[in-house]
Chain A
Amino acid sequence: MVVTAKAADGKELGKVERHYHPQATNCRDFKMKYGAQWKVANLRDTSLQPGQAKKETIEFELPEGVRNADVTIELFYEASNPDNKYPIHTVTRKVSLDK
């Protein structure tokens, strides 16, 4: 998931990524491995679990003078390599500090 905040002029104000997947090593060192041939056991698992919601709270501090932000949340799946993406949901929101 990538959450991006941009100013009205398109300038990026902040970008945060969250990665949800099991992470394995070969149990001989602490380097994560890709590929079944090298993996031996999961070391950490941040994947989406059945019946459990994955919640995040992400904060962007706006620079002086910026009162509005366009926020985009992109949720996608990567298979095989990070360049092979399958978009799942894209949500955009305009956020203002003025009533």
Chain B
Amino acid sequence: MRFLKLILVLLFIAVPLVASADKAKTIDELAKMYDSSSCKGCHEDIYTQWEKSHHARPLMGVKGGLMLSPLAAKKGTDGATAFSEDDPKKMKIKNYPCFKCHLPQAITSAEDSVAVELTEALLAKDKVKIAKLQITCIVCHNTKAIIHKRELGEPEKGVIYSTKDMGAHPGGKIKKSAIFKDSIYCGQCHGLGPNLEFDQPFQCANLYGSYLHSYVSGGGTQTCQDCHMQKGDHLIAPNWNDDKGTSELLAKAISLDVQTLGYEWLRKAKTYVPKVVVSTKITTTAGHRIPDG
């Protein structure tokens, strides 16, 4: 009986340890868990495109900013948010609702200690450490590849999801994702509007909502991938760190027509008012509102 008790006690202690062993305790562990650098060996062009993309720096914002800094700020201080705490050690994964899209692997695969380490890194402006956290190939080609989980189950570990079944592959078996070519795939993060599922709602991207309710409703049929991933481009422009490329992309999508007129307006008898009239007309070929994200 004593032996049985001992086994039960050991099991009670061991099970949580095994469970927590599946999750990353540090930023380095999380980065390693989702490291996709081995993809580069065979997919160098795609990998290079991705390296320049915002998916490769989801916590860095535009031009080196640290977009999560307000959440890391000490509660009650200027610039702090409703998600901030008075001590970095109190920060948990749930204090970073932005992880829903900016680092989805943190929700599934990280301990709260990663949130503490990230908070300390944000306060120290340690960009080298924060830059290790990326939306890697595995995140899109596995973690976010299945949305019909009741019917299709969770993404399988070690499987790479893509546009078609391809069987064996050096990095893992390739299976078809039902949504990989559909806008809803991107819409998982490039969102519908307010995120009301959290205990404090917040609003980030409205883009997929705009696509559904303005573009599709107007007869639009192109997908996000049709425009932003032409020929499989994994830069998925715009890259806001590339001024020239971004201006060119915007100029391609947005047209400006200008008409001018000069004349003298007769306000009342013998009272002419010289006037210049400028008429502008802006049109866009984008399948969503501009600006959005």
A52 to B70, CA, bound (A): 36
Instruction: Indicate which residue in B63, B206, B264, B290 contacts A48 across the interface (CB closer than 8 Å).
Output: B290
Instruction: List the B side residues contacting A52 at CB < 8 Å.
Output: 214
User: Are A47 and B292 CB-contacts (below 8 A) given A61-B274, A62-B275, A93-B258?
Assistant: yes
B193 engages A42 (CB within 8 Å): yes
**Does B162 lie at the interface of the complex (its beta carbon under 8 Å from any beta carbon of A)?**
no
Smallest CB separation, B25 vs chain A (Å): 26
A95 to B260, CA, bound (A): 7
B159 → chain A, closest Cβ, in Å? 32
* Count of A-B residue pairs with CB < 8 Å: 168
Cβ A89 vs Cβ B98 within 8 A: no
Output the nearest chain A residue to B245 by Cβ-Cβ distance: A86
Flag B187-218 by CB within 8 Å of A: 1 or 0 each.
00000011000000111101000110011001
1/0 per residue B266-286: CB within 8 Å of A?
Answer: 000000011111111111101
* Set B83, B220, B243: member contacting A51, Cβ < 8 A: B220
Q: Say whether, besides A3-B280, A50-B210, A80-B63, A66 and B247 are in contact (CB < 8 Å).
A: no
Most chain A beta carbons < 10 A, residue from B211, B261, B282: B282
**A60 & B286 in contact (Cβ 8 Å cutoff):** no
Instruction: Tell me, yes or no, whether B14 is within 8 Å of chain A by CB.
Output: no
Chain A residues lying within 8 Å of B210, measured Cβ to Cβ, are 49-50
Tell me whether A48 and B289 are in contact (CB under 8 A). Answer: yes
User: Is A9 an interface residue when CB atoms closer than 8 A count as contact?
Assistant: no
Contact A36–B204 (Cβ < 8 Å): yes
Interface of A is mostly: strand
Contact-residue size bin, chain B (C-beta under 8 Å from the other chain): 35 or more
| Contact residues in A for B203 (Cβ distance below 8 Å) | 24, 36, 39-42
Tell me which residues across on chain B come within 8 A of A68, comparing CB atoms: 262
Given A53-B282, A60-B278, are A87 and B194 neighbors across the interface (CB < 8 Å)? no
Neighbour of B287 across the interface among A24, A41, A50, CB < 8 A: A50
Mark contacts of B58-86 with chain A using CB atoms, 8 A cut-off: 1 yes-contact digit, 0 otherwise. Answer: 00011101000011000000000111000
Q: Are A57 and B279 in contact (CB under 8 A)?
A: yes
Binds A, one of B28-36, B139-147, B176-184, B249-257: B249-257
Q: Does B12 contact A (CB under 8 A)?
A: no
Main secondary structure of the interface of B (DSSP, over half): mixed
A38-B202, A40-B202, A80-B63 known; A71 and B194 CB under 8 Å?
Answer: no
Q: Is A11 an interface residue (CB 8 A)?
A: no
Chain B residues near A57 (CB-CB < 8 A) = 277-279
Contact of A97 among B247, B263, B289 (CB under 8 A): B263
Point out residues on B near A: beta carbons under 8 Å.
61-63, 65, 70-71, 81-83, 98, 193-194, 201-204, 206, 210-211, 214-215, 218-220, 240, 243, 246-247, 250-251, 254-256, 258, 260-264, 273-284, 286-292
> 6 interchain pairs (CB within 8 A)?
A37-B98, A41-B193, A50-B284, A69-B276, A73-B256, A97-B262
Chain A positions within 8 Å of B, measured between CB atoms, are 1, 3, 5, 13, 20-22, 24, 35-42, 45, 47-62, 66-69, 71, 73, 75, 77, 79-80, 84, 86-89, 91, 93, 95-97
Identify 20 new A-B residue pairs, CB closer than 8 A, beyond the known A36-B203, A37-B71, A69-B262. A3-B278, A20-B282, A21-B291, A37-B202, A40-B203, A41-B193, A41-B194, A42-B193, A49-B289, A50-B284, A50-B288, A55-B282, A59-B277, A60-B276, A61-B275, A62-B274, A71-B276, A75-B254, A79-B62, A88-B247
